[in-house]
Structure 1
Amino acid sequence: MTTHLEPNKTFPILETERLVLRQFTPADARDMLAYLSDPVVMKYYGLAPFESEQDALDEIDWYTSIFQKKTGIRWGITLKGTDQVIGSCGYLNWSTQHYRSEVGAELSKEHWNKGIMTEAFQAILQYGFDHMALVRIQGLMELENIASQKLCEKSGFIREGLLRKYEYTVGKFDDMYMYSLLKEDFSVVS
């Protein structure tokens, strides 16, 4: 993984073998709407499927605000050689005091089962431990979200337990599994 900063910017750009993870801009709203309007992609996102470019612009504004407040960071996932955003991944609820953050990700279903999210996930985990001083990275996911559970387990996360009725989203209470990865347990998945 290569990490570099664009001139006059502080947002880190991460490069892997096939991907460039970069900051979202308003120009990405249409690409974002394409996958975040898909009910299959949004099934475990915690929000209703997006209905307009304004929904996507609001999400991009939120990504910008968590980065500026240093409470999180969200990268747009692009394939090298293109600038089309096909998903995102990153951190939220970053606690510098406790050296931990939650991780999250989603990907356009046209790109599922190609190893793209595993590659992106490894890059952001490495970044979190190396540049954000994280000691613990945690993931919360619904019990039915098998793909995310497999992604976490493949990356070395351990399921710690069940949080009953932990979140209220899209008109329902959700039970959530808590997964965690500690810095000393992290190794790059090949």
Structure 2
Amino acid sequence: MNFQSLSTNRLDLIRVTESHVNDFYTILSDSRVTQYYGIDPLTSLEEASQIIHSFDQTFSMKRGIRWGMIDRSTGRFIGTVGLNNWSPYAKKAELGFELHPDFWRRGYVSEAVQEVIRFSFEELALHRLGAVTFLENEASYRLLEKLGFTFEGVLRGYLYQGERSHDARMYGRLRTDVITPQVKIEETV
């Protein structure tokens, strides 16, 4: 399978490459972004480069897909969105994303995630998308609920960050779920 770029009204979703390392580092070295991300803030460009390299590895092994979000109006790299723990055989994956704080509360993540959901169900023929959030990350779990994900429970000690384990909220959405529109919720991620 070749990497497929996607697009939305305002975003181009592209393969993340070394050319994005500085912007990617800026995002993941910001403690506001990583507070509920599952990793401590990055401290070097080399760490950012290693993560970008891991995106290629997981894609080639069909274990994940990660897209860089490019704001079409400025050409700026503003974050990533993608699938983790992808299993084509089991027809499932977990959704993940992060966004530069300059772009919070503007609907970019919602827009990108909706396209990834469409791609996952229609083109990858997945049956299930999951997502996990820190218990305290209300912005993320409200966004997931707005996009039709169902709260399925708490996973004890599921996330590790800051030298300790954290409980996580588990969400899921099936291809067969009927989604009813919800009121717009301001996005803070």
For residue 60 of structure 1, what is the aligned residue in structure 2?
52
Cα shift readout 1:51-95 (whole Å, capped 9, x = no counterpart): 121111111001111111110100000111443211000001111
| Superposed CA RMSD | 1.7
Aligned residues: 182
Q: Could you say which structure has the greater relative contact order, defined with CA pairs below 8 angstroms and 6 or more residues apart?
A: 2
AA partner of residue 106 (structure 1): E
What TM-score does the superposition give when structure 1 sets the normalisation length? 0.91
Counterpart-to-counterpart distance in 2, 1:47 and 1:146: 18
Partners of 2:31 and 2:120 lie apart in 1 by 30
State which drifts further: 178-187 or 131-140: 178-187
Q: Which residue identity lines up with residue 23 of structure 2 in the other structure? A: D
Alignment of 1:27-176 (within 5 A): 27-176=19-168
Which aligned runs of 4 or more in structure 1 are off by greater than 4 angstroms?
186-190
Q: Distance in 1 between matches of 2:20 and 2:74?
A: 12
Structure 2 unmatched ranges of 5 or more: 185-189
Please say if residues 79 and 99 of structure 2, whose CA atoms lie closer than 8 Å, have aligned partners that are also in contact. yes
Q: Show the counterpart of 1:6.
A: none
**Displacement of 1:98:** 1.6
* Deviation at residue 170 of structure 1 after TM alignment: 2.9
CA contact (8 A) 1:66 1:73 kept: yes
User: For structure 1, which runs of at least 5 residues remain unmatched after alignment?
Assistant: 1-8
Q: Percent identity?
A: 37
2:187 alignment partner in structure 1: none
1:22 is displaced (CA, Å) by 0.3
